[in-house]
Amino acid sequence: MRRVGWDVFARHPADVFEERGSLQWQLVKALVGEDWSFAGKRVLDFGCGSGRILMPAIADAPDAEFWGCDIHAPSVAWLREQLPVPPERVFQTTEWPPMDQPDGRFDLIYAFSVFTHLLDSWSAWLLELHRVLADDGLLVVTVFGPGQYTFGEEPVSEESVGMNVLYPSASWDTGGPLILHSEWWLRAHWGRAFEIVSLRLGDQAGAPPLFGQGVLVMRKRPGSYGVAELERPESGEPRELLALRGNVLSLRREIARHAVVLNSRSWRLTAPLRAAARRIRGR
């Protein structure tokens, strides 16, 4: 629960964890629509963590075949023991695709708080999900940015964000990088490989069940696509240049923050403590 960032300091943190997972599963059901039957369908929780959404999903839709994957080996090992599914249905992924699954295997894939952190591998993973999704399947993905106008001290502008990376050097122990997206950028880039069925904007107040994130429902377009095709700037789109400038400004702020920390007296004095912590973690 601590790893995925929920309220571990609540009086009953497991209750909070389970409640939010259940809310997000109900959102998935609402997004795919009442006419979409789970009976006989194969569903993948991409980035399942310790099963926050996967557990209520399995309990609610026993006629579906649920799978989960995550990069975090301890979460995968724990879920294999806990979930009432064959252990091979929970598998570990690496930082880059492919995953060991055949083409068109899944009827529905959902990914909560995954592409909000993928830095260099976003296009490769998006195309991998395109590969393993059935021709008539659906992909549900949360993003951060659309519907937002600030994040801490960082301004969030629909016109100039595009795809921007905040805190690119952040470790995964502290949450990793945070990726901001603009709606126009998602439609231009992700829309090349997927038909965007719907895009729900995020809520600046951070209300449940998305807690500030937006969400897309997409259907794969026929054909095969390459990473370069998804990443190339949109022709004739002046906001692409604004987005690049915004990235440069964010990186400058990041460099300035690091310079302040690295030059501080407290950083130098605590260097032995950080070295000791690294040795302890290694052991």
pLDDT of residue 36: 94
pLDDT of residue 69: 98
DSSP tag of 157:
-
pLDDT of residue 278: 62
- C-alpha distances in angstroms, 109 versus 42, 220, 244? 9, 11, 31
Task: Give me the domains of the chain, ranges plus CATH numbers.
Answer: 13-282 (3.40.50.150)
User: CA 239 to CA 183: how far, in whole Å?
Assistant: 12
pLDDT of residue 11: 79
User: CA 272 to CA 38: how far, in whole Å?
Assistant: 55
pLDDT of residue 162: 96
**Bond before 238 cis per omega within 30 degrees:** no
CB 146 within 8 A of CB 181: yes
Per-position pLDDT tens, the chain of length 283: 777 766 656 778 888 888 999 999 999 999 999 999 999 999 999 999 999 999 999 999 999 999 999 999 999 999 999 999 999 999 999 999 999 999 999 999 999 999 999 999 999 999 999 999 999 999 999 999 999 998 877 778 899 899 998 888 787 767 788 999 999 999 999 999 999 999 999 999 998 899 999 999 999 999 999 999 999 999 999 999 999 998 888 888 788 877 665 666 665 666 666 566 666 655 6
CB 98 within 8 A of CB 90: no
Specify the pTM: 0.89
What is the Cα 270 distance to its own chain's centre?
34
pLDDT of residue 247: 87
User: CA 107 to CA 41: how far, in whole Å?
Assistant: 6
pLDDT of residue 283: 60
User: What φ, ψ does residue 105 adopt, rounded to 5°?
Assistant: -75, -30
pLDDT of residue 15: 85
pLDDT of residue 27: 98
